[in-house]
């Protein structure tokens, strides 16, 4: 099986016996394919739907701003853009019209923030786990003790990450965007004081808003990008900090794999095996960082620098939290469900990577429709393929 060339892999997959293709199409995906032929040209239909959503945004403006002003301050910061706010009421209105399961639960979490600890909301039609891996959470008192010990050990060891400057610059940029807060004064139980930065806007230590914050350690992750160059990411060690062990999850996020793309491509070939196919994709910019968390007290981060330790907090979901993976995947399911049913774009997703395989005639239109409908909600997508 070819693994290093998607074109060779696709050719190999298309010439396999379709009887052994393991992945069935999702119900909404099947519905999308069955109804696309009713609208000609498809591009005009998709443009008309996008125009109607834009009109809804204008009609809902007063309602949306009234909703926005009821939100907790940290949630407001997560949704505030330069000259607009994320259009959550529009999304919920559309989901209600579609009869999407758990819409009211999702509305509450989008308005109050997603939980990072404790019991998490199940996904729609996700596979129920057969093990007990996430059903034996650490008691909160035990977690608090372990978390303090973990942070004390990190402060005493004082190992500064080689990429501390990159991570500090990224954190300061996120403070400007409203996604993070700080730098804060150290809790009374720290063995050493915290420090501020030398940059305007983060050069003064702020009073700690929570007496007993839960803290994780920032660390760098080196990856190889699609261009072959080294890529640095900031992660937070929610496993060793103990955060993840407090979560209760009964299911497993559903991911679309290459097999799902192959099955979708085969569906387009049912009537004509010579139909040219095209793959398109979007990468959700920021992904987790566009959704608010519920309790900022649970999401502090320690970054060690040569000048001393710095302490910050999150307003949004973060990389390293198991709960962030569960919550964002539920949101991703919503985005693809709306794409399929509203603009008839047969989208799939693997966490924050969205895409499809469809006939060449409609691929460009579906690609743009997915992008435009997300743009109406003030959600950005980059790295188009």
pLDDT tens column, 21-65:
568 888 999 999 999 989 989 999 999 999 999 999 999 999 999
Determine the average pLDDT of the residues in 182-195: 97
Does residue 271 surpass a pLDDT of 80?
no
Does residue 385 surpass a pLDDT of 70?
no
pLDDT of 334 reads 96
pLDDT of 17 reads 65
> Tokens 């069935």 label which residue?
24
Coil, helix or strand for 132? coil
Token couple for 223: 């990856």
pLDDT tens column, 78-103:
999 888 899 999 999 999 999 999 99
pLDDT of 131 reads 86
H or E stretch at 180 = strand 180-181
Instruction: Considering only the C-alpha atoms of the chain, give the largest distance between any 2 of them, rounded to a whole number of Å.
Output: 70
pLDDT of 5 reads 80
Please report which confidence band the pLDDT of residue 126 belongs to, taking 50, 70 and 90 as the band edges. very high
Average pLDDT, the chain: 92
**Residue in 287, 354, 330 with CA at minimum distance from that of residue 346:** 354
Percent of the residues in the chain that have a pLDDT greater than 90, as a whole number = 78
pLDDT of 223 reads 85
Q: Which residue has the higher pLDDT, 72 or 13?
A: 72
Determine the average pLDDT of the residues in 237-251: 96
Determine the average pLDDT of the residues in 124-129: 92
For 132, how many CA atoms within 13 A lie in the half-sphere containing its CB? 2
pLDDT of 383 reads 41
| Range of lowest pLDDT (162-171, 250-259, 324-333) | 250-259
- Cα-trace Rg, the chain: 23
pLDDT of 4 reads 63
Q: Which residue has the higher pLDDT, 9 or 187?
A: 187
Q: Which residue has the higher pLDDT, 20 or 225?
A: 225
| Range of lowest pLDDT (99-103, 204-208, 242-246, 282-286) | 282-286
pLDDT of 157 reads 97
pLDDT of 381 reads 47
pLDDT of 19 reads 57
pLDDT of 96 reads 98
Determine the average pLDDT of the residues in 158-174: 97
pLDDT tens column, 344-366:
999 999 999 999 999 999 999 99
Please report which confidence band the pLDDT of residue 382 belongs to, taking 50, 70 and 90 as the band edges. very low
Please report which confidence band the pLDDT of residue 379 belongs to, taking 50, 70 and 90 as the band edges. low
Coil, helix or strand for 269? coil
Token couple for 368: 């743009």
Q: Contact 311/3 with Cβ under 8 angstroms?
A: no
Q: Contact 385/355 with Cβ under 8 angstroms?
A: yes
DSSP string, 34-65: HHHTTSSSHHHHHHHHHHHHHHHHHHTHHHHH
pLDDT of 54 reads 95
């Amino acid at each position: 099986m070819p693994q290093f060339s998607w074109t060779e892999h696709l050719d190999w997959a298309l010439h396999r016996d379709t009887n052994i293709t393991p992945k069935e199409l999702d119900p909404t995906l099947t519905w999308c394919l069955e109804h696309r032929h009713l609208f000609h040209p498809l591009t005009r239909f998709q443009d008309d739907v996008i125009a109607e959503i834009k009109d809804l945004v204008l009609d809902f403006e007063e309602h949306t701003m009234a909703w926005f002003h009821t939100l907790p301050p940290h949630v407001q910061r997560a949704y505030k853009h330069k000259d607009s706010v994320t259009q959550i009421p529009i999304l919920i209105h559309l989901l209600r019209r579609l009869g999407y399961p758990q819409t009211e639960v999702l509305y509450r979490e989008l308005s109050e923030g997603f939980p990072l600890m404790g019991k998490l909301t199940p996904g729609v039609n996700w596979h129920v786990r057969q093990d007990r891996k996430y059903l034996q959470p650490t008691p909160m008192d035990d977690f608090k003790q372990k978390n303090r010990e973990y942070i004390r050990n990190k402060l005493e060891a004082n190992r500064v990450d080689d990429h501390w400057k990159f991570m500090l610059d990224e954190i300061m940029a996120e403070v400007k965007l409203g996604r993070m807060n700080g730098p804060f004064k150290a809790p009374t139980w720290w063995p050493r004081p915290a420090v501020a930065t030398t940059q305007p806007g983060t050069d003064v230590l702020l009073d700690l808003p929570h007496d007993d914050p839960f803290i994780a350690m920032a660390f760098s992750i080196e990856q190889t990008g699609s261009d072959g160059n080294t890529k640095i990411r900031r992660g937070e060690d929610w496993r060793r900090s103990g955060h993840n062990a407090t979560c209760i999850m009964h299911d497993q996020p559903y991911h679309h794999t290459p097999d799902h793309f192959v099955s979708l491509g085969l569906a387009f070939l049912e009537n004509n095996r010579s139909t040219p196919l095209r793959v398109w994709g979007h990468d959700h910019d920021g992904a987790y960082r566009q959704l608010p968390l519920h309790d900022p007290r649970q999401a502090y981060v320690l970054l060690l620098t040569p000048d001393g330790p710095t302490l910050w907090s999150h307003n949004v979901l973060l990389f390293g939290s198991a709960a962030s993976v569960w919550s964002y995947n539920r949101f991703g399911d919503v985005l693809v469900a709306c794409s399929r049913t509203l603009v008839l774009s047969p989208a799939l997703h693997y966490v924050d990577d969205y895409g499809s395989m469809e006939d060449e005639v409609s691929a460009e239109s579906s690609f743009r429709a997915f992008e435009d409908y997300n743009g109406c909600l003030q959600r950005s997508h980059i790295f188009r393929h």
